[in-house]
Amino acid sequence: MSDDVIYLDYNASTPCDPRVVEAMLPYLTGTFANPSSRHHRPGRDAFTALEEARSTVARFLGAKSATEIVFTSGATEANNLALMGVSGVRGERGRHIVTQVTEHPSVLEPLIHLRDSGWDVTEIGVDSDGRVRLDELSGALRDDTVLISLMLANNETGVIQPVAQAAELARERGALIHCDAAQAVGKLTVDIAALNVNLLTLSGHKLYAPKGIGALFLRRSRPPVRLPPLFRGGGHEHGLRSGTPNLPGAVALARALEIACGDLATEMDRLADLRDRLEVKVVGELDDCSVNGSMAHRLPGTSNLSFAGIEGNALLASLPDLAVSTGSACTSAHSQASPVLLAMGVQPALARASLRLSVGRFTTADEVDRAAARIVEEVTRLRSI
Ligand SMILES: *Cc1c(COP(=O)(O)O)cnc(C)c1O
């Protein structure tokens, strides 16, 4: 990364932790064989390493068994596999799915596709804090509802949804529940047993592992979820995801989870302190600057700020020394107001005047101080012209 740019975009992607790189390197050169080639020793070694990585991922997520973990290319694929898969096997029972409006595009787009093919999809709203209301969620459930899809933490605001309570509602109605936890794993305690979800998505590059690896947790009991695959071929990953597995990626994901879970409580406090330090310095210095999203239910490292009277894109353009985002990375090419903020009732002009700042493992207090000073400086300058 260029040294002169302060990176505050950890929600878009994280650098690999050097310990993760160290763990995966032997699987790029030495133990490189195809894990399916179990007729020879190198293949068996690769297979053993893959299954060890799977067990580690299962253990740190609180899954009952390693067979519940399917490695994918990332969270987008895991979300597609979950949603298209459940629709493939549950269509007989009913054709209704409930989700909410601030989900990631990799959840919303497959659901739009399902709607086009005859499914009924209810997208419930959020309150001004960015959270779904459980009574509204409960009211949206019907006898033909087969699935709820609810994210754990939002990528733009960091707002945390009441997933465990939603899982309770799903169970009462005999529906399954899928959770996109791409922003939550490694940042919060994510315990599948406590959340009680049937399916859960995670992504490597959001937790200091490389891009191109992720996983879907798929509960095999009460009830066992059996899905049809997205890709057909050699039958890898219990037939759910054909294609030679990304062994270095799987090893990296396992190591990344181990590191993140190792000092989670301390790191959560440190990130919350950095985030609060940033907000105190920016919101304290500027008039008409507001924090978007629930203060009580928010990821420790995410801050979404609105600055009345300016354009977020103009602010971005005047801050080339900061790597930050307006809205989600996926929509930042368009200068539209963030649908996430609009759904929370933020006025369009204010929604277009927002920045997402996300701190992470390698962020220092000095970087936060310098970034805050630059934001204050540029907002003040833009407001004066
Ligand atoms: C980043 C992200 C995704 C997509 O993850 P990839 O691994 O890049 O496909 C999905 N959901 C959320 C909430 C995310 O933040």
The per-residue pLDDT for range 101-112, each reduced to its tens digit, is 999 999 999 999
Q: How long, in residues, is the chain? A: 385
- The predicted pLDDT at position 385 comes to 86
Residue nearest to atom 14 of ligand 1 (CA): 182
Residue 48 has pLDDT above 80, yes or no: yes
Q: Which of 203, 207, 216, 325 to mutate to test the pocket of ligand 1 (most atoms within 8 A of CB)?
A: 203
- The predicted pLDDT at position 224 comes to 82
Q: Give distance in angstroms: CA of 303 to centre of ligand 1.
A: 18
> In this predicted model, what pLDDT tens digit does every residue of 236-267 receive, in sequence order?
998 899 999 999 999 999 999 999 999 999 99
Cβ < 6 A, ligand 1 pocket: 74-76, 104, 106, 151, 155, 180, 182-183, 203, 205-206, 214
Residue 13 CA: which ligand 1 atom is closest? 1
Amino acid at 359: V
Q: Give distance in angstroms: CA of 71 to centre of ligand 1.
A: 15
- The predicted pLDDT at position 92 comes to 82
- The predicted pLDDT at position 329 comes to 45
Token look-up 């997933």 returns 163
Q: Give distance in angstroms: CA of 376 to centre of ligand 1.
A: 30
Residue 103 CA: which ligand 1 atom is closest? 13
Report the C-alpha gap between 225 and 85 in whole angstroms: 9
Q: Give distance in angstroms: CA of 75 to centre of ligand 1.
A: 5
| 371-379: average pLDDT | 97
Residue 302 has pLDDT above 80, yes or no: yes
Is beta strand 199-203 parallel, antiparallel or unpaired with respect to 322-323?
A: unpaired
Report the C-alpha gap between 339 and 102 in whole angstroms: 7
Q: Residue 3: which pLDDT band, with cuts at 50, 70 and 90?
A: low
Q: Give distance in angstroms: CA of 42 to centre of ligand 1.
A: 33
Computed over every residue of the chain, the mean pLDDT equals: 94
Residue 327 has pLDDT above 90, yes or no: no
Q: Residue 331: which pLDDT band, with cuts at 50, 70 and 90?
A: very low
Q: Residue 178: which pLDDT band, with cuts at 50, 70 and 90?
A: very high
Report the C-alpha gap between 106 and 230 in whole angstroms: 14
Residue 60 has pLDDT above 50, yes or no: yes
Residue nearest to atom 10 of ligand 1 (CA): 75
Q: Residue 319: which pLDDT band, with cuts at 50, 70 and 90?
A: very high
| 122-138: average pLDDT | 98
Residues serving a catalytic function are 330
Q: Residue 181: which pLDDT band, with cuts at 50, 70 and 90?
A: very high
Q: Which of 9, 83, 104 to mutate to test the pocket of ligand 1 (most atoms within 8 A of CB)?
A: 104
Residue 203 CA: which ligand 1 atom is closest? 7
- The predicted pLDDT at position 328 comes to 46
| 76-91: average pLDDT | 94
| 30-37: average pLDDT | 95
- The predicted pLDDT at position 326 comes to 85
Q: Residue 2: which pLDDT band, with cuts at 50, 70 and 90?
A: low
Lowest mean pLDDT among 115-124, 159-168, 310-319: 310-319
Q: Give distance in angstroms: CA of 360 to centre of ligand 1.
A: 16
- The predicted pLDDT at position 335 comes to 62
> In this predicted model, what pLDDT tens digit does every residue of 153-162 receive, in sequence order?
999 999 999 9
| 179-193: average pLDDT | 97
Residue 225 has pLDDT above 50, yes or no: yes
> In this predicted model, what pLDDT tens digit does every residue of 65-81 receive, in sequence order?
999 999 999 999 999 99
Q: Which of 14, 151, 180 to mutate to test the pocket of ligand 1 (most atoms within 8 A of CB)?
A: 180
Residue nearest to atom 12 of ligand 1 (CA): 182
Percent of the chain scoring above 90 in pLDDT: 88
